[in-house]
């Protein structure tokens, strides 16, 4: 389990993110068109998993916007926002913000992602939601970068994540 903080108070996650160099665990999530998506749908492409508690919070919104801007400049790379938000909320937010370079995926009906990526928060006011994390996979589905953001109200280290893709 990972220990992170929420506004300075310690909380834990159900485990540790997959390790760099490992084959990423498969997943099935639901996109904002209510279609299932899995890792095989992105075979041959690099995949940035921008994982967060909810698209309707300030820091989560900032990360979606930041990665949307970066995605247009990345070759052979898909950026996917991953949360437990309903696909309708993800689509509404991205539509209202004009975010066209990222994909959305929800765990609202398939629960293997949180089990395999160990991102559920065990305690604190956001218990049951995803922690803030970034996991990047190469074209073969191997993990090439991870960041478990240490403080929920902190943005990911975009520079470090994006440097992995250049």
Residues belonging to the active site: 60
Helix (H, G, I), strand (E, B) or coil at 95: helix
- The Cα–Cα gap between 46 and 63 comes to 18
Spatial CA neighbour of 110 closest among 41, 28, 26 = 28
* 90 in Cβ contact with 55 (< 8 Å): yes
- The Cα–Cα gap between 79 and 61 comes to 14
Q: What angle do CA 115, 130, 74 make, to 5 degrees?
A: 95
Q: Which pairing describes strands 77-83 and 9-12: parallel, antiparallel, or unpaired?
A: unpaired
Residues 6+ apart with CB under 8 A from 34: 87
Task: Look at phi and psi of residue 148 and say left if phi exceeds 0, alpha if psi is from -120 to 50, else beta.
Answer: beta
């Amino acid at each position: 389990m990972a220990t992170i903080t929420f506004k300075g108070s310690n909380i834990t996650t159900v485990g540790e993110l997959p390790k760099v160099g490992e084959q990423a665990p498969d997943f099935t999530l639901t996109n904002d068109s209510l279609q299932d998506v899995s890792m095989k749908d992105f075979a041959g492409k690099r995949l940035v998993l921008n994982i967060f508690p909810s698209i309707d919070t300030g820091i989560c919104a900032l990360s979606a916007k930041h990665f949307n801007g970066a995605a247009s400049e990345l070759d052979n790379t898909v950026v996917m926002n991953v949360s437990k938000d309903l696909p309708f909320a993800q689509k509404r937010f991205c539509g209202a913000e004009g975010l066209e370079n990222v994909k959305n995926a929800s765990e609202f009906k398939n629960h293997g992602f949180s089990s395999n990526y160990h991102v559920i928060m065990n305690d604190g006011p956001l218990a049951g939601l995803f922690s803030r994390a970034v996991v990047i996979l190469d074209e073969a589905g191997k993990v090439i970068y991870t960041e478990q953001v240490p403080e929920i109200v902190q943005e990911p280290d975009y520079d470090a994540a994006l440097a992995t893709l250049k």
